[in-house]
Amino acid sequence: QGSTPRAISIVPQAAPVAVFKLTQDFNNDQFPNKVNLGVGAYRTDEGQPWVLPVVKKVEKIIVHDDRLNHEYLPILGLPEFRSSASKIVLGDNSPAILENRVGAVQCLGGTGALKIGAEFLRRFYNGSNNTKTPIYVSAPTWENHNAVFSSAGFEDVRPYRYWDAEKRGLDLAGFLGDLESCPEHSVFVLHACAHNPTGTDPTQEQWKQIAEVMMRRKLFAFFDSAYQGFASGSLEKDAWAVRYFVSSGFEMFCAQSFSKNFGLYNERVGNLTVVARDADNLKRVLSQMEKVVRITWSNPPSQGARIVTITLTSPELFSEWQENVKTMANRVLLMRSQLKAKLQALGTPGTWDHITDQIGMFSFTGLNPKQVEYLVKEKHIYLMASGRINMCGLTTKNIDYVAESIHEAVTKVQ
Amino acid sequence: RLCLNQTSVFSLSVYYTHLLWCSSWWGGVQMGPPDPILGVTEAFKKDTNPKKMNLGVGAYRDDQGKPFVLSCVRKAEAIIAAKQLDKEYLPIGGLAEFSKACAQLALGPENEVLKSSRSVTVQTISGTGSLRIGANFLARFHPGPHDVYLPKPSWGNHTPIFRDAGMQLKAYRYYEPSTCGFDFKGALDDISKIPEQSIILLHACAHNPTGVDPRPEQWKEIADIVKKRNLLVFFDMAYQGFASGDIDRDAWAVRHFIENGHNIVLSQSFAKNMGLYGERVGGFTVVCKDAEEAKRVESQLKILIRPIYSNPPVNGARIAATILNTPELRSLWLEEVHGMANRIIKMREQLVAGLKKNGSSHNWQHVIDQIGMFCFTGLKPEQVERLTKEFSVYMTKDGRISMAGVTSGNVGYLADAIHAVTK
């Protein structure tokens, strides 16, 4: 059957992406009280996906608007989307925006924004096609960061110290130490807020220290902002670090995702915000990014961008969106405080303050691999081997079972 | 009194460091040239001439020159809206019912390849995204020479896509300028000399930019010689249904090659045939030795996709799947695709009639013989420039016009303009 030049016969089976395998195993599990604390998607208190009410409203508007068609968007995306999305992270009155030195590329989700930024940096940053520029990602970080930068051609993707497992918090000394000792012009991928997977963010004072070293040592700031609004419930608060860096004069990138804060996961809505020294530099940068986009996906999908744009540019819908975002953030905060309270009430060994100190969708519980295995195999509670749990997987109905199971795991398994 | 607390010390130190070093990272970045194809539309938009015509980018227009949203698409959208579906991530390989229907459309539902599950189809970001994934896959796994042979000429974006993936670009003769037709002898001659196990890219139907397609007998000979040279065939099918109006007829070459024993790779786009341009709907298929190999290939395609965009957008794929899998919508779609193809054919005929009426002494038969959205007029760059400057008729420098931009209302003007620059 078929004469393939021995071409494909040597293709090895690739390992599945861990987080998706976890969900697959969860789906196959027949246990009635199973709990999925794996994949990072919001769930309601009924454990269901949630299409934001404002999104439903806007989708109806779109479907009934006969003036809309399915024509190609420009290569860089829907212009109103790009500008309103950048305003969300930088603030309407950002001096950089007023100085006409902010631009953006509509991309396929946060991943797509990271990708276009990475491809641009590989071609034009720190020389020409300098694949040896070190790219620093936090230890630990979202598992796809590594692959995005290495597939863009960077040969040297390294960790910077971040999570202190012993004290279950930020290893600031290690972080600053790596910033001081790394090669000049290294690129640092910074989580704007709600660090994935640890949920541990630098404080404002700590961000200032980080910025000071980065500016002095001429390091490139590439922010990954996937949870704006989702972390604290406040858009402004969650964008503080990004805005501080901008006001400090950095030229930088910020990859924005609207997957979580708009619940638009499968529409692939993202924005790469570019802050440049001036309008002329910005223009040239965008023109080159356009070339990268053209050979990757030509132009981005319109549906998700339309939904976001219509929402952000209508005062009424914008308010409604903010309320929807607060709903999600507040439910997560509630689950955090309840989980901690229950563990404390059970007298579970150890301290559990980190559950409420951490922010966003994820919590690094501090459970070790054996304890994680116990939870998965014996209690049918699915979480990442790292001990990361998705707080959204907790509900008022399963939180007792989860707290008791964690208690069991910690007391029985060392 | 100056109060310096910790906060302001930090801000000041950052600010002063910034002042000391005010240059840009991007000082050495050159302005990128405008995209040759999409740049035409940019120029067209700026033109104030009421008679202006955009014959640049290949997007279908109705006889009023307006974008056309297919009825089957509107109906599918209504069905989908009523279902109130969630917005959870798709799998990396996309919407399963889309990928399946996409493969069936290309290969035919009874195809042995599908029955034995020896192919994998992933949803991609339209045709470009499909070609990109394909190029990346070949760059990583193709054990033969990393030379991709394109027809001369080919779609402008093919070259940079394959090049960026790390492949080398070569060409085989294809278009014969003296006849504005297919250089069959030249193609066979060049193909017969391609080193074994190289990659050959073929346009499945409605060749872009020339509109010149091989006839079935010619495809058969091409298939034979490609087999003799043991080449990996990469089909690009962006116009299935749009070329002749018949989806099976337009997929004939793809199916013939598979029957003939070639395990092809295939890119498909639904931008034109379903008018889903901005929704970015496409597929990439690899025909393998057996189901086991297909599984291995699928796992590697996912590894390639994940660091680019994680998983594809749902909207367009859902529309396409609904249309393909709902009998009444599928029939309606086939009618509408037929309608679009027919309007193009009619415009070709009217353009030639108009040129004859103007007394043109040239042979314009090729305008009727060519197929699909594009027509390689044979116009030279100077003539193209005159068309744009004097008549506000916009097209790409190679003399390619998108017939979709021609209407019964402006075909006369076009015939006059072309006659004026060629007489």
Q: What is the pLDDT along chain B (423 residues), one digit of tens a residue?
A: 444 455 555 566 665 555 545 688 999 899 998 777 777 888 898 999 999 999 987 899 999 999 999 999 999 999 999 999 999 999 999 999 999 999 999 999 999 999 999 999 999 999 999 999 999 999 999 999 999 999 999 999 999 999 999 999 999 999 999 999 999 999 999 999 999 999 999 999 999 999 999 999 999 999 999 999 999 999 999 999 999 999 999 999 999 999 999 999 999 999 999 999 999 999 999 999 999 999 999 999 999 999 999 999 999 999 999 999 999 999 999 999 999 999 999 999 999 999 999 999 999 999 999 999 999 999 999 999 999 999 999 999 999 999 999 999 999 999 999 999 999
CATH number at A287 reads: 3.40.640.10
Supply the range of the domain harboring residue B348. Answer: 36-68+340-421
**CA–CA dist A205, A208 (Å, integer):** 5
Beta carbons of A234 and B36 less than 8 angstroms apart: no
The torsion angles phi and psi of B152, rounded to 5 degrees, stand at -105, 110
- The per-residue pLDDT for B15 is 58
Q: Which DSSP string do the residues of B23-73 spell out, in sequence order?
A: --TTTTPPPPPPPTTHHHHHHHHH---TT-EE-SS---B-TTS-B---HHH
The torsion angles phi and psi of A398, rounded to 5 degrees, stand at -110, -5
Q: Are residues A144 and A237 in the same domain?
A: yes
Does residue A283 belong to the interface with chain B, where contact is any CB pair within 8 Å? Answer: yes
Chain A contacts in chain B segment 288-307 (CB below 8 A)? 288-290, 293, 295-297, 299-300, 302-304, 306-307
Q: Are residues A168 and A250 in the same domain?
A: yes
Does residue A392 belong to the interface with chain B, where contact is any CB pair within 8 Å? Answer: no
Closest CA to B297 of A14, A360, A414: A14
Q: Are residues B64 and B160 in the same domain?
A: no
**Any residues with CB less than 8 A from the CB of A22 and at least 6 apart, and which?**
A36, A38, A39, A382, A383, A384
Q: Are residues B320 and B345 in the same domain?
A: no
The torsion angles phi and psi of B274, rounded to 5 degrees, stand at -115, 5
**In a domain? residue B73:** no
**CA–CA dist A384, B93 (Å, integer):** 22
CB contact under 8 A, B87 and A20: no
Alpha carbon A258 to its chain's center: 9
**CA–CA dist A349, A356 (Å, integer):** 17
CB contacts, 8 Å: A109 with chain B: 309-311
First to last CA, chain B: 85
**CA–CA dist B363, B213 (Å, integer):** 19
Q: Are residues B316 and B345 in the same domain?
A: no
Number of domains in chain A: 2
Q: Are residues A26 and A134 in the same domain?
A: no
**In a domain? residue A271:** yes
Mean pLDDT for all residues in chain A: 95
Nearest CA in chain A to B261: A2
Q: Are residues B63 and B103 in the same domain?
A: no
Give me the half-sphere count of Cα atoms (radius 13 Å) on the Cβ side of residue A223. 34
**Any residues with CB less than 8 A from the CB of A246 and at least 6 apart, and which?**
A90, A94, A95, A96, A252, A275
Q: Are residues B124 and B233 in the same domain?
A: yes
Q: Best of A51, A111, A298 to disrupt the B interface by mutation (most B CBs within 10 Å)? A: A298
CATH number at B409 reads: 3.90.1150.10
Shortest CA gap A343–chain B (Å): 31
Residues facing A105 on adjacent strands? A272
Does residue A181 belong to the interface with chain B, where contact is any CB pair within 8 Å? Answer: no
- The per-residue pLDDT for A12 is 87
Name which residue leads in pLDDT, A394 or A21. A394
Q: Are residues B148 and B254 in the same domain?
A: yes
Of the three residues B325, B360, B385, the one that is the final residue of a domain is B325
Does residue B115 belong to the interface with chain A, where contact is any CB pair within 8 Å? Answer: no
> For B357-363, which contacts have Cβ atoms below 8 Å and span 24 or more sequence positions?
B357/B415, B358/B415, B358/B416, B358/B419, B359/B419, B359/B423, B360/B418, B360/B419, B360/B422, B360/B423, B361/B423, B362/B422
CB contact under 8 A, B277 and A6: no
Cβ neighbour number for residue B48 with a 10 Å cutoff: 6
Beta carbons of A38 and A393 less than 8 angstroms apart: yes
**In a domain? residue A318:** no
The torsion angles phi and psi of B125, rounded to 5 degrees, stand at -85, 80
- The per-residue pLDDT for B37 is 75
Q: Measured between CB atoms, which of A71, A285, A294 is closest to B67?
A: A71
Q: Are residues A85 and A232 in the same domain?
A: yes
**In a domain? residue B372:** yes
DSSP H helices in B285-326:
291-309, 314-325
Q: Are residues B292 and B156 in the same domain?
A: yes
Chain B contacts in chain A segment 116-155 (CB below 8 A)? 124-125, 128, 144, 147-148, 150-152
**In a domain? residue A57:** no
CB contact under 8 A, A2 and B289: yes
Q: Is the interface score ipTM higher than 0.90?
A: yes
The structure tokens listed for B248 are 């099976």
**CA–CA dist A80, A101 (Å, integer):** 16
Q: Are residues A40 and A125 in the same domain?
A: no
CATH number at B245 reads: 3.40.640.10
**In a domain? residue B25:** no
**In a domain? residue A194:** yes
pTM for the predicted model, two decimal places: 0.95
Active-site residue list of B: 155, 236, 272
- The per-residue pLDDT for B6 is 52
CB contacts, 8 Å: A215 with chain B: 14, 17-18
**In a domain? residue A321:** no
CB contact under 8 A, A151 and B308: yes
Does residue A276 belong to the interface with chain B, where contact is any CB pair within 8 Å? Answer: yes
Q: Measured between CB atoms, which of B35, B271, B312 is closest to A268?
A: B312
Of the three residues B278, B299, B325, the one that is the final residue of a domain is B325
CB contact under 8 A, A5 and B90: no
Number of domains in chain B: 2
Q: Are residues B244 and B388 in the same domain?
A: no
**Any residues with CB less than 8 A from the CB of A323 and at least 6 apart, and which?**
none
**CA–CA dist A285, B31 (Å, integer):** 8
Alpha carbon A306 to its chain's center: 21
Of the three residues A313, A341, A361, the one that is the final residue of a domain is A313
**CA–CA dist B196, B90 (Å, integer):** 39
CB contact under 8 A, B277 and A72: yes
Q: Are residues A34 and A98 in the same domain?
A: no
**In a domain? residue B104:** yes
CA angle B376, B379, B383 (to 5 degrees): 145
CB contacts, 8 Å: B81 with chain A: 59-60, 63
Shortest CA gap B298–chain A (Å): 8
CATH number at A388 reads: 3.90.1150.10
**In a domain? residue B334:** no
Per-residue burial over A170-182, b if 16 or more Cβ lie within 10 Å, else e, is bbbeebbebbeeb
**In a domain? residue A121:** yes
Q: Are residues B45 and B148 in the same domain?
A: no
Q: Is the dihedral of CA A32, A35, A41, A46 positive or negative?
A: positive
pLDDT 10s digits, A3-52: 444 445 578 888 777 777 888 899 999 999 999 999 689 999 999 999 99
- The per-residue pLDDT for A3 is 43
pLDDT confidence bin for A1, thresholds 50/70/90: very low
Shortest CA gap B9–chain A (Å): 10
**In a domain? residue B26:** no
Q: Are strands A388-390 and B53-54 parallel, antiparallel or unpaired?
A: unpaired
Q: Are residues A280 and A232 in the same domain?
A: yes
CB contacts, 8 Å: A298 with chain B: 125-129, 157, 280
Q: Are residues B134 and B48 in the same domain?
A: no
Q: Are residues A170 and A220 in the same domain?
A: yes
Q: Are residues B159 and B292 in the same domain?
A: yes
Supply the range of the domain harboring residue A383. Answer: 18-50+329-412
Q: Are residues A279 and A408 in the same domain?
A: no
Q: Are residues A227 and A299 in the same domain?
A: yes
**In a domain? residue A91:** yes
Q: Are residues B217 and B178 in the same domain?
A: yes
Q: Are residues A279 and A359 in the same domain?
A: no
**In a domain? residue B3:** no
Alpha carbon A408 to its chain's center: 32
Beta carbons of B131 and B158 less than 8 angstroms apart: yes
pLDDT 10s digits, A131-157: 999 999 999 999 999 999 999 999 999
- The per-residue pLDDT for A96 is 97
**CA–CA dist B402, A34 (Å, integer):** 57
Of the three residues B325, B352, B376, the one that is the final residue of a domain is B325
**In a domain? residue A201:** yes
The mean per-residue pLDDT over the stretch A310-323 comes to 98
Beta carbons of A34 and A26 less than 8 angstroms apart: yes
